[in-house]
Structure 1
Amino acid sequence: MRVLVFLLLLCMPLALNAQGAATLVADTVELNADEQLVATGNVEVLFDGSRLTASQIIFDRPSDTLQIIGPIVIQAADGTIFTADRATLDPRLENGILQGARIVLEQQLQVASNQIDRREGRYSQLYKTTATSCRVCGTQAPLWEIRAEQVIHDTQEKQLYFSNATLRVRGVPVLWLPRMRLPDPSLDRSSGLLIPTQSNTTQLGFGIKLPYFFTLGDHRDLTVTPYVSQETTTIELRYRQAFANGDLTVEAAVSDDTLLPEARSYLFAEGRFDLANAYQLIFDIETVSDPAYLVDYGYSDKDRLDSSVQLLRVTDRALLNARLTNYESLRDDEADASLPPIIADLSYESSYDPAFGGLLRYGASFDVAYRYSTVDGDAGRDVSRIGANGAWSDSWILPYGVVADVQTALRTDIYMINDDVAFAEDDLRVTPSMGGTLRWPLGRVSTTGATHLLEPTVSFSWADAYGGTPPNEDSLRTELDRANLFAISRYAGEDRIETGVQAAAGVTWTRLGAGGFNSTLTFGRVFRQEEQEGFTNTSGLNGKNSDFLIAGQLIAPSGFLFDTRSLWNGVEDPTVVDSRIAWRNDRVTLGANYVWLGPDAEEDRFETISEWTVDAGFVINDAWNLDVNARYDLAEDRPVRTGATLQWRNECVTVDVSASRRFASSSTVEPTTTFGISGSIGSFSTGRATGGLATGCGN
């Protein structure tokens, strides 16, 4: 018969001093003449979050020790599990000796030892030790293991210190180290060597990266990565710091290679900080020594760098945005002066509900586009603009469910222009506009439970510009889509506005299936009184009447997605086609994008663009994963980029093998093939849990 005994002062006085009571459960409990408490049969001790089970426990009160006969299992409060054959411990399970012992950390890393000495409840000293996160099958050697003469586990610092350690793979020694320190699996951050990676590129040859991570307190860290290959010696840096009101990240590298005679480098930094009164400070810094450096080393594919600092405040009724941006082009056929390189803008918008109804919006803005050059014309022109605007809008539901929206607005801009005699130095432009939209939502529910919504829509608008025509700095790239089909002006910026009388007509059909099979289809076109300037041939908006817009989306509960947008100048004359198709389930992820753009000299595109981009992921089984991607230029009949990554993973090892090829057409950037391999052993990467298929123990 099991007996429950609460041992307060009689058996465990130290437990009482620790402000905790120990609980002993056993089949039989007796107190002998030698002041020994003997518990036998299914013994269990609970104390301060720790749990011990054994076949027999003898508590010797004069020596204040526990003699424990196994099999012994101790589950500590921090999740650590000890198993042993025999043990001598104090009643608090903090000091003593365990023989034939094993420690399991975070249910990931198991450490077996002939003997474990427990000290101060913090240190465990192990002798003749084997550590692994792989499943151990009898006498068969695990996939990997570390054997050491001595291991000290510091549970407070969460570190493992190995002496005379040897790394073995399937029992074969591959690396010996006299001293080694590794984090235990429960540690989130720790200074030390991170997972090395290997790469082999046609540009830089075979190389090794050895990242070292420094914890600079609880809120900062630095990663230093030496990268050495046949063609380069590089130091990569990453610095991160978390503040009470924001964060900062800096990434940089310096290289001495055989590709260029001078040193090469880059620096990317970004930060975001919350200030008082809902303000945010956001900044982004990007700089590089030469146009090809980022691509040669695989740091980024950007062909334009933008460094900016921004002050932003967003509330329910107001928006304040102040930003300064510097652009740097890395393209062969583009000079910084044509961008322009420096853009400054300041804008404020607010709204409120007037007593007479509707919504009243007003705002002001200031923009500067500055070029370093002082030559006359586009390459040297500097433009400043200061403007103010106000708009009123309202909506009503008319008979038969027709929804009417009305808007009227007035905008005033003053332009100041330097270094371009084609425009007046000072110019004033006043732009009034008004418009209205009628929508008639028609809905029905079919016998299958699907909901159908048909929404024909027409809009009418008028706008005009009184004053001069400023240079177009911010409205160069605009395309017709579902979002701007019924807008009064579809230009992307403030320098241009659609004038005259215009109308837009369209219809949207939406089906919401009872089983989650949903679809949407939109058809529309814009009609104008007069042709507009500034729209390119492939924008879909040039001429009096726009191209036909056809856009749709199909979503299936099985994971299928199809999304498309196309512009048509005629029945057989597409201008733009942009589509994506995707499908996914638990084991397969497939996605493909197709883009077709006709030639357009105004967008510096003299040939047709027709490209496929494909990305796919396959979970082959519980151990193998394959990811592939490719980009192919159909117009040029050549690949642009291909890549594949194969991963094998079980409960204790992860190995990634990758290969990629970039087919460059630039004279600055050379085609590059890259091979890489990286791996990690489970349980020794801070903050990373092991996973994957647990290998079985076969006969």
Structure 2
Amino acid sequence: MAVPADAPTEHVVLEADYIYEIREENSVVAEGNVEALYEGRVLRADRIIYNRTTDRVRATGNVVIVDTDGSQQFADEVEVNSDLADGYAIGFSARLPEGATIVANSAIRKKNGVNALEQVIYTSCQLCGDDTTPTWSLRARRAVLDQESQMISYRDAIIEVAGIPVFYLPYLSHPDPTSERRSGFLVPSGGLSSKLGAFYQQPYYWAISQSQDLTISPMVSANVNPMVELDYRKRFYSGGVKINTSITRETDFDSDGVRFGDEKWRGHIYGKGLFAISPEWKWGFGVETQSDDLYDRRYDLDGQGERRGLYTSQPRRLLSQIFAVGQGDSYYTDVAVLDFQGLRGADDSRTLPTVAPVLFSEKYWDLGDYGFAAVNASSAMLTRENGLNSQRLSVGGDWSDLNVLPGGFTFEPFAEMRADYYALNEDVSGEPDVSRAVGNAGARVSYPLVRPGKIVDIMVEPTVMAAWGFSNVNGTAIPIEDSLLFEFDEGDLFEANGFGNYDLYEGDGKVAAGLTARAVFRNGPEFATTFGRRWRSRTDPNFDVASNLDGTSSDWVASASADFGNALRLDTRMRLDDDGYKLNRIDARLSTNYKRLRAVAQYYNINERVSPLNRPDEGIFLRGEFKVTKSYSIIFGQLRDIVQNLNAQKEYGIAYEDDCSRFELVYQRSELIDRTLGPSESIQFRFSLKSIGEFGSSEFD
């Protein structure tokens, strides 16, 4: 039967096993598998009474309300108006989208979608069978579930883990699992630190508009003055920016929290932006600066070393840059202005350069049967407050052609030439300017062999490169800026110029020979290797031992990889001495994500003879997680300095994880010593709750 509503076109559709009328009460009663439908909202119950006089519906027994958004609400008893929108419920519970559940002794629902709940429990954990104690739950005296704003607010909230109270908040609010981003307080962090003492940081997220937001995170500490951290993001039509900054007024302090020096304003800014100018051109910026060398380590701030633009800085060096990049079908151009800030103890800001600008541009042509040609221009202008200033301008071109000869050989002739001009300050370099011409001409010959098989495909390619270039091109007056830490390896084996940068150039005669092999199994595994060596016609004193181009022959260089998918991957790069095959350098990395184990292991060993540090360097890095059971895991990590017989860093812990939460208890120790900051250790307890966020601090030492 249909019960008319106020508007003649709107009806509540009522279905049941039995429907009858009580005239003296002006009521309609439905019993047995009752279902009422109004404008997409469904009410199911064992028994429903609709009173025409009061226009109210009372439902009892296994009551279920399915809302228009698909969320389900349950109750022992419900009384609502005829459009099933507002009323009250006894023994209320709701299953929200994304699996969250909220339970209350009673609930009052209004037409605007606001539910006022008493004696509330909220969790995003799945409850199965007789399991009535979720991994975590939020229990509160009172809560408001606003379906219009998609927010849930609590009074006198207690976080319980396995039914045990662990955290109390007088007020807490969070979006329901279907909510879009919105302003509000985020989960705080706090703990004890040897530097900061007891500290507490409370983030507030401000959704300024659909295209920008700001997170304000003030932190108070027992040992030092308050600090405020800000994270700002803005999306424009053509790009976006992201900025992380902080500010405080404080003295210096050491790893034990002992303050010294003058109190002054301190802070940092890490930011980046990228914008499209046209389909082929874009520009951007990256900014990295802080008031003190150790500011980020004192306050345990992340972000130093991230790539924020066209160039990436070295460890403990900040790089600010503004750049533009253009790339089309036949050209590429980039230009940038760079400024450096040193965070190392030995850094002197007066000797670090400002590069304004550094530029590279190339135009290339496909000549068809005559090969490929390109012309390029490059410049780098470096100025220092104290030290050598230099301005370099380079113009060059190159040509190559790939031919397949009878028998399957490939023959690739090539030629390149470049003119460099350096303007220098004479009082430092001894010369006002230097000019030179560099170039190489030669060919690569290879013989690729392929053998397909039922089980494995094998590919072997021996290659020989021979070239002759200009001699005596590396003058003593030319400043070495971009080639200080360059090392010739297997990636440069068949290049005519073994140096990929500008200030050093490999001329004279050279021959390189090597072999590349690959085996691809049909069932998945792949193996690959490259090894070879280079011979030179004469010694260039500008190439040191670390560069691997000193003398008349290089060390043997090799790389090898074995890929078994997620089960195992091994990548190794080696450098073997040209006399006796002694191991000069090895970098090996093993990674696995197979069944219960997820781990990365790295081993490195650098011989004293080729080390830029002029001492041997050997170590092992391990990091991973092993699942003991479905939910419990062991966390491990270690950085071992074998030469100094020292565990530079180590980490051990246990973790629990299920479908709605993750808990970690981790012990960490670092032996890092950087001026006034010394070794530290910590015990961290962190947990993250699905649909709410993370509790605890990841920076606790």
TM-score (norm 1): 0.87
The code of the aligned residue for 2:241 comes to L
Q: Is the 8 A contact 2:35 2:44 kept in 1?
A: yes
- SS of alignment partner, residue 546 of structure 2: coil
Q: Is the 8 A contact 1:423 1:471 kept in 2?
A: no
Deviation at 1:629?
1.7
Deviation at 1:475?
1.6
Q: Of 92, 101, 105, which residue of structure 2 is paired with 1:110?
A: 101
CA distance in 1, matches of 2:620, 2:392: 41
Deviation at 1:31?
7.2
Gap regions ≥5 residues in structure 2: 305-314, 695-701
- SS of alignment partner, residue 502 of structure 2: coil
Q: Is the 8 A contact 1:538 1:597 kept in 2?
A: no
CA distance in 2, matches of 1:319, 1:92: 65
Q: Does 1:522 align with 2:513?
A: no
Q: Is the 8 A contact 1:540 1:575 kept in 2?
A: no
Residue 31 and residue 493 in structure 1: after superposition, are their counterparts in 2 closer, same or farther (change >3 A)?
Answer: same
CA distance in 2, matches of 1:511, 1:595: 26
Q: Of 148, 153, 158, which residue of structure 2 is paired with 1:156?
A: 148
- Partner in structure 1 of residue 202 of structure 2: 210
CA distance in 2, matches of 1:267, 1:145: 38
- The count of aligned residue pairs is 668
CA offsets, 1:50-91, max 9 Å, x none? Answer: 333222344555654433332111121223221112323334
Q: Does 1:290 align with 2:292?
A: yes
Q: Of 579, 582, 595, which residue of structure 2 is paired with 1:573?
A: 582
CA distance in 2, matches of 1:310, 1:409: 28
CA distance in 1, matches of 2:217, 2:528: 50
- Partner in structure 1 of residue 482 of structure 2: 474
- SS of alignment partner, residue 486 of structure 1: coil
Deviation at 1:329?
1.8
- Partner in structure 1 of residue 228 of structure 2: 235
- SS of alignment partner, residue 344 of structure 1: strand
CA distance in 2, matches of 1:87, 1:418: 88
The code of the aligned residue for 2:603 comes to Y
Moved more, 572-581 or 465-474: 465-474
CA offsets, 1:367-414, max 9 Å, x none? Answer: 1111112xxxxxx11111122222222211111111122222221222
CA distance in 2, matches of 1:195, 1:150: 19
Q: Which has the higher contact order (CA 8 A, sep 6+)?
A: 1
- Partner in structure 2 of residue 350 of structure 1: 363
CA distance in 2, matches of 1:174, 1:398: 76
The code of the aligned residue for 2:91 comes to G
Moved more, 393-402 or 72-81: 72-81
- Partner in structure 1 of residue 61 of structure 2: 70
Q: Does 1:618 align with 2:609?
A: no
- Partner in structure 1 of residue 436 of structure 2: 429
Residue 502 and residue 142 in structure 1: after superposition, are their counterparts in 2 closer, same or farther (change >3 A)?
Answer: closer
CA distance in 2, matches of 1:600, 1:420: 34
- Partner in structure 1 of residue 373 of structure 2: 360
The code of the aligned residue for 1:458 comes to V
CA offsets, 1:96-142, max 9 Å, x none? Answer: 33333222223544333343322224222234444444649989776
Q: Of 381, 391, 408, which residue of structure 1 is paired with 2:388?
A: 381
Once the two structures are superposed, the pairs formed by residues 299-318 of structure 1 within 5 Å of their partners are: 299-300=301-302, 302-318=315-331
- Partner in structure 2 of residue 122 of structure 1: 113
Give the root-mean-square deviation of aligned CA atoms: 3.2
Q: Is the 8 A contact 1:617 1:625 kept in 2?
A: yes
CA offsets, 1:255-311, max 9 Å, x none? Answer: 435444234422211222222343222211111222222223322564111111111
- Partner in structure 2 of residue 253 of structure 1: 246
CA distance in 1, matches of 2:131, 2:328: 67
- Partner in structure 2 of residue 697 of structure 1: none
- Partner in structure 2 of residue 84 of structure 1: 75
Residue 228 and residue 27 in structure 1: after superposition, are their counterparts in 2 closer, same or farther (change >3 A)?
Answer: same
CA distance in 2, matches of 1:171, 1:136: 16
- Partner in structure 1 of residue 599 of structure 2: 590
Q: Is the 8 A contact 1:555 1:561 kept in 2?
A: yes
Q: Does 1:674 align with 2:682?
A: yes
CA distance in 1, matches of 2:603, 2:52: 80
The code of the aligned residue for 2:450 comes to G
CA distance in 1, matches of 2:164, 2:531: 68
Residue 338 and residue 435 in structure 1: after superposition, are their counterparts in 2 closer, same or farther (change >3 A)?
Answer: farther
Q: Of 645, 648, 658, which residue of structure 2 is paired with 1:640?
A: 648
- Partner in structure 2 of residue 511 of structure 1: 519
Moved more, 61-70 or 161-170: 161-170
- Partner in structure 1 of residue 178 of structure 2: 186
- Partner in structure 1 of residue 310 of structure 2: none
CA distance in 2, matches of 1:608, 1:211: 46
Deviation at 1:497?
1.4
CA distance in 1, matches of 2:658, 2:571: 37
The code of the aligned residue for 1:296 comes to R
CA offsets, 1:530-561, max 9 Å, x none? Answer: 22343331332221111111221111246111
The code of the aligned residue for 1:119 comes to K
Residue 137 and residue 354 in structure 1: after superposition, are their counterparts in 2 closer, same or farther (change >3 A)?
Answer: closer
The code of the aligned residue for 2:330 comes to R
Q: Does 1:607 align with 2:615?
A: yes
Residue 435 and residue 79 in structure 1: after superposition, are their counterparts in 2 closer, same or farther (change >3 A)?
Answer: farther
Q: Is the 8 A contact 1:308 1:323 kept in 2?
A: yes
CA distance in 2, matches of 1:483, 1:177: 58
Q: Does 1:94 align with 2:82?
A: no
CA distance in 2, matches of 1:125, 1:14: 29
CA offsets, 1:593-629, max 9 Å, x none? Answer: 111122359x751211111111111233333333322
- SS of alignment partner, residue 399 of structure 1: coil
CA distance in 2, matches of 1:638, 1:511: 40
CA distance in 2, matches of 1:143, 1:303: 42
Q: Is the 8 A contact 2:568 2:594 kept in 1?
A: no
Moved more, 640-649 or 152-161: 640-649
Q: Is the 8 A contact 1:197 1:679 kept in 2?
A: no
- SS of alignment partner, residue 483 of structure 1: helix
Deviation at 1:437?
0.8
Residue 420 and residue 432 in structure 1: after superposition, are their counterparts in 2 closer, same or farther (change >3 A)?
Answer: same
CA distance in 1, matches of 2:488, 2:684: 43
The code of the aligned residue for 1:298 comes to D
Residue 77 and residue 472 in structure 1: after superposition, are their counterparts in 2 closer, same or farther (change >3 A)?
Answer: same
Deviation at 1:680?
4.5
- Partner in structure 1 of residue 406 of structure 2: 399
CA distance in 2, matches of 1:98, 1:487: 78
Moved more, 487-496 or 224-233: 224-233
Q: Is the 8 A contact 1:618 1:626 kept in 2?
A: yes
Q: Does 1:539 align with 2:541?
A: no
Identity of aligned residues (%): 25
Moved more, 425-434 or 576-585: 425-434
The code of the aligned residue for 2:337 comes to L
- SS of alignment partner, residue 407 of structure 2: helix
CA distance in 1, matches of 2:622, 2:108: 57
Q: Is the 8 A contact 1:305 1:327 kept in 2?
A: yes
- Partner in structure 2 of residue 458 of structure 1: 464
CA distance in 1, matches of 2:368, 2:531: 38
- Partner in structure 2 of residue 412 of structure 1: 419
- SS of alignment partner, residue 294 of structure 1: helix
- Partner in structure 2 of residue 376 of structure 1: none
CA distance in 1, matches of 2:163, 2:629: 27
Q: Is the 8 A contact 2:388 2:428 kept in 1?
A: no
